[in-house]
Chains A and B, each alone.
Chain A
Amino acid sequence: MAESNEESTVAQTAVAETDPNKLTNARVLTTLHQLFGEDAFTDVDEPYGLLTATTTRERIHEIIQTLHGEPTMQFNFLTTMCGIHYPEQEDQELGMIYHLHSLVHNVRLRLKIFFPITDPAVPTLSDIHATANWMEREAFDFFGIIFTGHPNLIRILNVEDMDYHPMRREYPLEDGTREDKTDLFFGR
Chain B
Amino acid sequence: MAVNDTLESTHKIHQEAREQQHNQLVPTLNDFSQELTTLNLGPTHPATHGIFQNILQMDGERIISGVPTIGYIHRAFEKIAERRPFYQITTLTDRMNYCSSPINNMGWHMTVEKLLGITVPKRAQYMRVIMMELARITDHLICNSILGVDTGAFTGFLYLFQEREKVYEIYEEVCGARLTTNMGRIGGMERDFTPVAIEKLRKWLKEFPAVMREFESMFNRNRIFMDRVVNVGPITAEKALNYGFTGPNLRAAGVDYDVRVMNPYSSYEDFDFEIPVGTNGDTYDRFLVRNEEIWQSLRIINQALDNLPEGPFHADAPHYYLPPKQAVYKNMEALIYHFKIIMGEIEAPVGEVYHSVEGGNGELGFYLVSDGGRTPYRLHFRRPCFIYYQAYPEMVVGTSLSDAIVILSSMNVIAGELDA
Contact = CB atoms under 8 A, between A and B. Distances in A.
Interface of A: 1, 4, 47-48, 50, 52, 76-80, 82, 84, 97, 99, 103, 106, 108, 110, 129-131, 133-135, 138, 142, 155-159, 166-167, 173, 185-188
Interface residues of B, number: 46
5 contacts: A1-B117, A130-B242, A130-B243, A167-B79, A186-B343
A21 to B, nearest CB: 17
A157 B80 contact: no
Contacts, number: 98
Q: Decide if the interface of chain B is mainly helix, strand, loop or mixed.
A: mixed
Interface in B239-278: 239, 241-244, 255, 257, 262-263
A103 B241 contact: yes
B83 interface: yes
Given A80-B387, A82-B367, A48 B83 contact: no
Given A1-B117, A131-B244, 8 more contacts: A47-B353, A77-B241, A79-B244, A80-B367, A82-B378, A103-B257, A133-B390, A166-B79
B374 interface: yes
B373 A188 contact: yes
A79 B382 contact: yes
B368 to A, nearest CB: 10
B320 to A, nearest CB: 15
Contact of A188 (B255, B263, B375): B375
B351 interface: yes
B420 A106 contact: no
Given A142-B78, A156-B70, A99 B354 contact: yes
B269 to A, nearest CB: 14
Contacts of B78: 142, 167
A53 B416 CA distance: 33
A47 B352 contact: yes
A188 B243 contact: no
B241 A76 contact: yes
Given A52-B352, A129-B242, A188-B82, A157 B369 contact: no
Contacts of A158: 71, 74
Contact of A131 (B71, B243, B263, B375): B243
A108 B397 CA distance: 34
Contacts of B353: 47-48, 50
